Amino acid sequence: MKISGYKRENGRYGIRNYLLILPASVCSSDTAKRIADNIDGAISIPNQHGCCQIGDDYLNTVRTLVGFAKNPNVGAVLIVGLGCEGIQTNVLKEQIKESGKPVEAITIQQEGGTIKAIAKGTEIASRLAANVRKQQKVEFDISELVLGLECGGSDPTSGLASNPTIGVASDKLVSLGGSSILSETTEVIGAEHLIAARFEDVKAREKFLQMVKNVEAHSAASGNDLREGQPTPGNKEGGLTTIEEKSLGCMHKAGSSPFTGVLEYGEEIPHDKKGLYFMDSPGQDIDSITGMVASGAQIIVFSTGRGTPTGSPIAPVIKITGNTGTYNNMIDNIDINAGKIITEGVSLPDMGEELFDLMVRVCNGEPTKAEALGHREFGIYKIGYTY
């Protein structure tokens, strides 16, 4: 099956074509936004980190920022730094350059302050944007697509209808040679044995199970029970009573395909080993989506029983619900109603085909409702102290 998009220098394909204005730290986020606001087709992200981080926490943030910039939906990158932050622009630039795409950098201190940095950044961004706009769409095989699987604001209909619908679409993509990413480690607790049984590689299976154990251990070490926050108040009001109940519904997003491997948060998905992957992430929706996009997902499908407007800066997010009442109540935000399985007797295979057809249309340029409304939520998973 063929879809259309933009071929990148490293042989990957994007379904959107953005110029990314990438702040190296929170101190340059506002300046990056002001530069992006001056350029048609430019996107900035609200990076809240980037300084006074050490160890794995520092590496996690670098990996996420670099991964976001390397995502095939980005055609070129301008990095904006303050100049004295912990994550230096040259560190990001050298790693982003590995993708082959155009990347430049400025720092506010070197340019002589905000006004001069905005002027210089706008000048560089204008040139980069002109080249990005010249890129023409080409036809490519759908096996080049990476799909991120997300759920949030869940209720019982998520596990009964929308998540299984996503699973059907994911299985079809994997069968066509593409890749999918399941995340949210917190939300597989209680169902981890069912997922582990689907790993063909023993080392990958062990790594996955250790990730789940680490979540429980980290919570216990802090003197808290993660079940204080999972399920969320909205989950409980909707009818989910335990994390195990939530997890048994969550896992259906991954369909029935075998798992190929395991990714750290924001780790780049292998281009030469496609299939279904698990990525370690929190249950927080925006952090989870950000990680999958940093891993290379060009498109996200997001299941929600209660309803959510969440989008992403550079990847289209398709919103699907299994609750017809929620669909009617939040029709401005939700793209597809899998509640028809419950209320109208539509079959799961047919619902999966409907979702897959929408995915193809979105890949070919049709905007999702989150895109049309300008939802561009972004958040990096914080795994350590800021010192």
* Residue 383, pLDDT score: 92
* Residue 239, pLDDT score: 82
What does the alpha-carbon distance between residue 338 and residue 331 come to, in Å, rounded to a whole number? Answer: 13
* Residue 224, pLDDT score: 79
* Residue 86, pLDDT score: 97
The residue among 119, 113, 152 whose CA lies nearest residue 38 is 119
Q: What are the tokens at 258?
A: 């075998």
* Residue 225, pLDDT score: 77
The residue among 161, 164, 156 whose CA lies nearest residue 341 is 161
* Residue 244, pLDDT score: 85
| Residues lower than pLDDT 70 in the chain | none
pLDDT tens per residue, range 141-190 = 999 999 999 999 999 999 999 999 999 999 999 999 999 999 999 999 99
Please count the CA atoms within 13 angstroms of the CA of 91 that sit on its side-chain side: 18
Q: How many CB atoms within 10 Å of residue 171?
A: 18
pLDDT tens per residue, range 299-351 = 999 999 999 999 999 999 999 999 999 999 999 999 999 999 999 999 999 99
Homologous superfamily of 18-134 in CATH? Response regulator (3.40.50.2300)
For 46, residues 6+ apart whose C-beta sits below 8 A from its C-beta are 23, 29, 33, 378
* Residue 338, pLDDT score: 98
Residue ranges per domain, the chain? 18-134, 141-372
For 217, residues 6+ apart whose C-beta sits below 8 A from its C-beta are none
* Residue 306, pLDDT score: 95
Return phi, psi of residue 75, to 5°: -95, -25
pLDDT tens per residue, range 182-195 = 999 999 999 999 99
* Residue 216, pLDDT score: 85
What does the alpha-carbon distance between residue 62 and residue 82 come to, in Å, rounded to a whole number? Answer: 16
pTM for this predicted structure: 0.96
* Angle at 41 (CA atoms; ends 38, 42), nearest 5 degrees: 60
CB 340 within 8 A of CB 8: no
